[in-house]
């Protein structure tokens, strides 16, 4: 195996952990297919990107910190030749954002099998898995710095490859290990010959299978299938393990449990042009906006989205209410993630690097501003200040999801309970709490869509969805040894 390498702070928005992409297509340029697939999944992680390519004899991995377009160029992709590829774009929830934690991970098994693995999600029994790997001397003990990755993916990679011994295969190892892993996960892995994918038994994170003319693709979202010209076949079902090689697509089930698809994928995380569980993300957000227009309606003159994630809901709001829709905020499409830290003076400009108001649209108007969610409230506070400076007469904020009160332990980097603006001491989901939040962000009025309306908009059975960040009901349980999880347990008991 060869490893090639080149050598902001968290924003006030929720982040998903990662995007994964795998392709099995002999005769095709799999590294470039993986590159463009990751490009479509860039919204799922901006800290690092990597591609592993196998040609039956070896696996070559190239990965680095940064955006997909910053990590790869034509010469690098030309050096990654093979029949199967696994790609990953990362936002960390366990482990830091150093190069060692960028995926795919690579290890060699005791019988000499090379394995590359990528992961989207977050494991609730990470500490148990880590202890098992330390006991087997597969990873260094906790607290030992400079000796590899600290992520849950590294632990799974170590345990998976260690199980490949003597005449056993990667498939045998996966069958043994997967039933012992708890939490939210989509794994993509390869031995350089076969492409494997597995989705956790609850199906928290999305994963889809697509058909190429001469191969197959599996990706976190259907938009990545579209960009490489793959035809959507079906979702990878919760608890399924898929293997793809020259004999075709082989599917088996390693667990059966109730579904718990993440509702926040529909609200914010997924691209609007993706389809999850046969439901268009864009259509879901339009319907949420329509339902939102009936919550505390106001006499606004314009419905205006916070681009881009608030746009579909704002369109639905405008269609249902009859109030005109206009783009009063312009987003710089080329900002991305910058490694250049602004000076204090520039930092005080707040959002203007990414968003800038159009004064002629805003000035003197009563605005209804639609956003997808509110987490800490810092972004909304700066945005409302900016709109008032641009001459807005009134700013009425409408949020296309319920208040976020509970942290996520299944792959979204929500703040700790104390950092969430909904936990500001005024209770939850009542008029006093909303008024407190409204005052904190400086809006003239504030309203949220209800949990029931949000769920109804997805067209999914309520029992099939995870709504933990809104309701505090955790279908996969809470991780042990996590300070925020312990705080949540106390909150659930009424202790504060």
One domain, residues 225 and 293:
no
Looking at the chain, the whole-number percentage of residues with pLDDT higher than 90 is: 73
Detail the residues annotated as belonging to a binding site for Mg(2+).
Answer: 309, 371-372
> Mind listing the pLDDT tens digit for each residue in 346-391?
655 556 777 889 999 999 999 999 999 998 888 899 999 999 999 9
Write down the pTM of the prediction: 0.89
pLDDT of residue 339: 45
pLDDT of residue 337: 46
One domain, residues 331 and 302:
yes
Any domain includes 5 = no
pLDDT of residue 375: 87
One domain, residues 314 and 221:
no
Report the CATH number at residue 137.
3.60.20.10
One domain, residues 249 and 296:
no
Average pLDDT over residues 325-343: 70
One domain, residues 223 and 161:
yes
Detail the residues annotated as belonging to a binding site.
Answer: 262, 309, 371-372, 408, 466, 469
One domain, residues 187 and 318:
no
Any domain includes 7 = no
pLDDT of residue 338: 46
Q: Is the pLDDT of residue 443 over 60?
A: yes
Spatial strand order in the sheet of 105-108: 105-108, 114-123, 183-190, 195-199, 240-245, 248-253
One domain, residues 318 and 464:
yes
> Mind listing the pLDDT tens digit for each residue in 67-98?
999 999 999 999 999 999 999 998 764 445 57
Summary mean pLDDT of the chain:
89
pLDDT of residue 494: 75
Number of domains the chain is built from = 2
Average pLDDT over residues 275-284: 97
One domain, residues 310 and 355:
yes
Active site residues: 18
One domain, residues 335 and 380:
yes
> Mind listing the pLDDT tens digit for each residue in 117-158?
999 999 999 999 999 999 999 998 865 554 555 688 999 999
CB 353 within 8 A of CB 335: yes
One domain, residues 252 and 296:
no
Residue 493 confidence class, pLDDT cut points 50, 70, 90: confident
Last residue of a domain, which of 258, 292, 320?
258
The residue that leads in pLDDT, 4 or 36, is 36
Any domain includes 274 = no
One domain, residues 374 and 438:
yes
One domain, residues 343 and 423:
yes
Report the CATH number at residue 311.
3.40.50.2020
pLDDT of residue 331: 85
Range of the domain at 449: 279-493
Any domain includes 271 = no
> Mind listing the pLDDT tens digit for each residue in 203-240?
999 999 999 999 999 999 999 999 999 999 999 999 99
pLDDT of residue 149: 58
Residue 496 confidence class, pLDDT cut points 50, 70, 90: low
pLDDT of residue 458: 98
> Mind listing the pLDDT tens digit for each residue in 413-423?
776 788 888 88
């Amino acid at each position: 195996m060869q490893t090639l390498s080149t050598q902001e702070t968290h924003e006030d928005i929720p982040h998903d952990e990662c995007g994964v992409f795998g392709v099995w297509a002999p005769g095709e340029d799999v590294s470039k297919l993986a590159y463009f697939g990751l490009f479509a999944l860039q919204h799922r992680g901006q800290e690092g990107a990597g591609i592993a390519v196998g040609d039956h004899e070896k696996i070559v991995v190239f990965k680095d910190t940064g955006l997909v377009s910053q990590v790869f160029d034509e010469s690098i992709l030309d050096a990654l030749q093979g029949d199967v590829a696994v790609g990953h774009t990362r936002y960390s929830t366990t482990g830091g954002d150093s190069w060692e934690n960028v995926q795919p991970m690579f290890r060699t098994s005791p019988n000499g099998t090379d394995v590359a693995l990528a992961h989207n999600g977050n494991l609730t029994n990470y500490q148990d898995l880590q202890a098992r790997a330390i006991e087997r001397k597969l990873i260094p003990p906790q607290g030992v710095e400079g000796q590899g990755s600290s992520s849950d993916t590294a632990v799974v990679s170590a345990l998976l490859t260690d199980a490949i011994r003597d005449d056993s295969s990667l498939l045998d190892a996966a069958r043994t290990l997967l039933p012992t892993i708890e939490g939210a996960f989509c794994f993509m892995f390869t031995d350089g010959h076969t492409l494997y994918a597995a989705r956790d038994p609850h199906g928290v994170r999305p994963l889809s299978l697509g058909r190429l003319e001469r191969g197959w693709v599996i990706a976190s979202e259907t938009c990545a299938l579209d960009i490489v010209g793959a035809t959507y076949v079906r979702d990878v079902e919760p608890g399924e393990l898929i293997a793809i090689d020259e004999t075709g697509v082989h599917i088996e089930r390693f667990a059966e449990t109730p579904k718990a698809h993440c509702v926040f994928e529909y609200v914010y995380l997924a691209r609007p042009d993706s389809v999850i569980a046969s439901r268009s993300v864009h259509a879901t957000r339009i319907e949420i906006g329509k339902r939102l227009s009936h919550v505390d309606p106001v006499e606004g003159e314009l419905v205006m989205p916070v681009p881009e994630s608030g746009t579909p809901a704002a369109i639905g709001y405008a269609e249902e209410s009859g109030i005109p829709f206009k783009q009063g905020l312009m987003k710089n499409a080329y900002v991305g993630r910058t490694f250049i830290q602004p000076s204090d003076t520039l930092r005080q400009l707040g959002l203007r690097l990414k968003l800038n108001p159009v004064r002629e649209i805003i000035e003197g108007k009563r605005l209804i501003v639609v956003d997808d969610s509110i987490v800490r409230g810092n972004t909304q506070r700066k945005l409302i200040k900016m709109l008032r400076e641009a001459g807005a007469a009134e700013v009425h904020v409408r949020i296309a999801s319920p208040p976020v009160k509970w942290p996520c332990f299944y792959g979204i980097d929500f703040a700790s309970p104390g950092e969430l603006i909904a936990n500001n001491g005024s209770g939850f989901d009542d008029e006093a709490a909303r008024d407190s939040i409204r005052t904190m962000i400086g809006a003239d009025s504030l309203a949220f869509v209800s949990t029931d309306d949000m769920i109804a908009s997805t067209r999914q059975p309520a029992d099939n969805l995870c709504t933990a960040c809104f309701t505090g009901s955790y279908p996969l349980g809470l991780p042990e040894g996590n300070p925020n999880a312990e705080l949540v347990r106390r909150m659930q008991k009424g202790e504060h």
